Amino acid sequence: MESPHIPSHYQILSTREGYLDLQISGDWVIGNSLPSLDTVKKALYQQQNISHIVIDSSALGKWDSRLVSFILLLSENLNNNNIDLDITALPSGIQSLLHLATMVPVRKGVHKTEYQPSFAERIGNKSLNSLAETHKFITFTGEVWLSLFRFIHGKARFRKQDFWLIVQQCGPDALPIITLISLLMGLILAFMGAIQLRLFGADIYVANLVAIGMSREMGAMMTAIIMAGRTGAAFAAKLGTMQVNEEINAFKTMGIAAIDFLVLPRVLALTLMMPLLTLYADVIGILGGLCVGVGMMDISLVEYYLQTKQSITLVDWSTGIFKSAIYGFLIASIGCMRGIQCGHSSSSVGDATTSAVVRSIVIIIVTDAIFTLIFERIGI
């Protein structure tokens, strides 16, 4: 255990005309509380003609940067009153540190001003930002379309092996999680319906509920949300890391369009894989409902199958699959866009990834709402 510190203390000795003699005593270290400057300030106020302050350190024990910062504080207060501070009696170490600390003058214009915008101003700024964001996104989507056209004309360049690797990551690699979630989704839908339908003796319509629910809405939406968190985030992270590493600049200065090389294969891969995954999710979801129907509700396998077959039409399947292709395009675009827009600080890639996932999910649900309205209007 260290020996206990002697408390820091200073006192003003008998003063000469125009001079203030400060005697510093005790241990001035981190761990001791600093005495306040009020005594000095009071003395300065009482004796208006002070022109020098001399510091005496004969009674000084241990010291560290606490003492240095105290003296700096003192000198800051004095400079406003044009009083000279004499530190020549202090240990040479303190004098050197003080000299070092005051060597470089404060650079002009470097202090950041604290400006608190008003509530209305913040709302205004947020709206303008949202508008700018939407504009950027539409521009980006346009560039992706142009890239697609170039691809169709055979002028876009990306590596075939990159494309197939991404297809594998978006498609087959996602099957386990899609299976699990869709199965459970079907189960949940069936449960929800079962209790209500049982009251009317309409148990068999559970099959309808699950089939229509999965194929029209839930298959596409759940798959999209999973893929947004999984693949959208992966795209944003990958492209964001490349941006931080200047790899995307390297493409640009080599005259290779990053959008053709990096974004296009990802957008194509996800847009093609989503309908397949959704179809699979629909079937697995119906299977989940089957488990509940057969296991819990005394509906036979054949009955359930026939009822399911009867309840949905090709139109139901098509709406879900069509929407899923759109979702795929949106998820990939947003993920890639966020990645490319990534900043250069250490938290940037994380921010880009989070933003990509959140935005994707929001846009998916908004798009779903819009489509549901449209389909309802046109009677599909």
Partner 1 sequence: MTAEAHIIVNELSMAYGDFVIQQDLNFTVNKEDIFILMGGSGCGKSTLLRHLVGLKHPAKGSVFYQDTNFWEASEQQRNELMRHNGILYQSGALWSAMTLAENIALPLAEYTDLSSAEIRELVSLKLALVGLSGFEDYYPSEISGGMQKRAGLARAIALDPDILFFDEPSAGLDPVSAKLLDDLILELRDSLGATVVIVTHELSSIFAIGNNSIFLDTDSKTMIASGDPKILLKECEDSRVRQFLTRGEKNNRTEIYS
Question: Checking phi first, is residue 255 left (phi over 0); if not, alpha (psi -120 to 50) or beta?
Answer: left
With CB under 8 A as the contact rule, the residue among 13, 73, 132, 250 that binds partner 1 is: 250
Sign for the pseudo-dihedral over CA of 166, 172, 177, 178: positive
Nearer to partner 1, 258 or 290 (CB): 258
**Cα–Cα distances in angstroms (integers) from residue 54 to residues 76, 85, 134, in the given order:** 15, 6, 65
Cα 281 from Cα 285, distance rounded (Å): 6
CB of 11 or CB of 139, closer to partner 1: 139
Nearer to partner 1, 230 or 238 (CB): 238
Give yes or no for residue 143 binding partner 1 (CB under 8 A).
no
Q: Is 380 exposed, middle or buried (0-12, 13-18, 19+ CB in 10 A)?
A: middle
Give the one residue of 56, 133, 247, 368 binding partner 1; rule: CB under 8 A.
247
* Per-residue tokens: 255: 């005259």
Mask for 104-133, x = binds partner 1 (CB under 8 A): x-----------------------------
Q: Which is nearer to partner 1, 250 or 374 (CB)?
A: 250
Q: Is 62 in the site for partner 1 (CB under 8 A)?
A: no
Q: Which stretch binds partner 1 (CB under 8 A): 55-63, 77-85, 132-140, 246-254?
A: 246-254
Q: How far is the CB of 216 from partner 1 (least distance, A)?
A: 39
How many contiguous H segments (helices) and E segments (strands) does the chain have? Answer: 15, 4
Query: What residues numbered 73-102 form the site for partner 1, per CB under 8 A?
Result: none
With CB under 8 A as the contact rule, which of the stretches 11-19, 86-94, 241-249, 324-332 interacts with partner 1? 241-249
Contact stretch for partner 1 (CB under 8 A) within 37-45, 204-212, 248-256, 268-276: 248-256
**Which residues, 6 or more positions from 53, have their beta carbon under 8 angstroms from its beta carbon?**
19, 20, 21, 22, 40, 74, 78, 83, 84, 85, 86
Say whether residue 155 binds partner 1 (CB under 8 A).
Answer: no
Question: For residues 206 and 197, what is the distance between their CA atoms, to the nearest angstrom?
Answer: 7
Q: How far is the CB of 261 from partner 1 (least distance, A)?
A: 9
Among 12, 72, 256, 325, binds partner 1 (CB under 8 A): 256
* 55 Cβ neighbours under 8 A, 6+ residues apart: 22, 24, 71, 85, 86, 87, 89, 90
Find the binder of partner 1 among 125, 245, 300, 310 (CB under 8 A): 245
Among 84, 121, 173, 246, binds partner 1 (CB under 8 A): 246
- Of the candidates 267, 264, 308, the one whose C-alpha atom is nearest the C-alpha of residue 287 is 308
Residue 242 sits in the site that holds partner 1 (CB under 8 A)? yes
DSSP annotation of 104 reads S
Tokens of 240: 């964001």
Q: Which two tokens stand for residue 1?
A: 């255990």
> Would you count residue 252 as binding partner 1 (CB under 8 A)?
yes
Binder of partner 1 out of 255, 302, 314, 378 (CB under 8 A): 255
Judged by CB under 8 A, the residue of 21, 86, 143, 162 near partner 1 is 162
Yes or no: say if 241 and 280 are a contact pair by the CB < 8 Å rule: no
| Interacting residues with partner 1 (CB under 8 A) | 103-104, 157, 162, 241-242, 245-247, 249-256
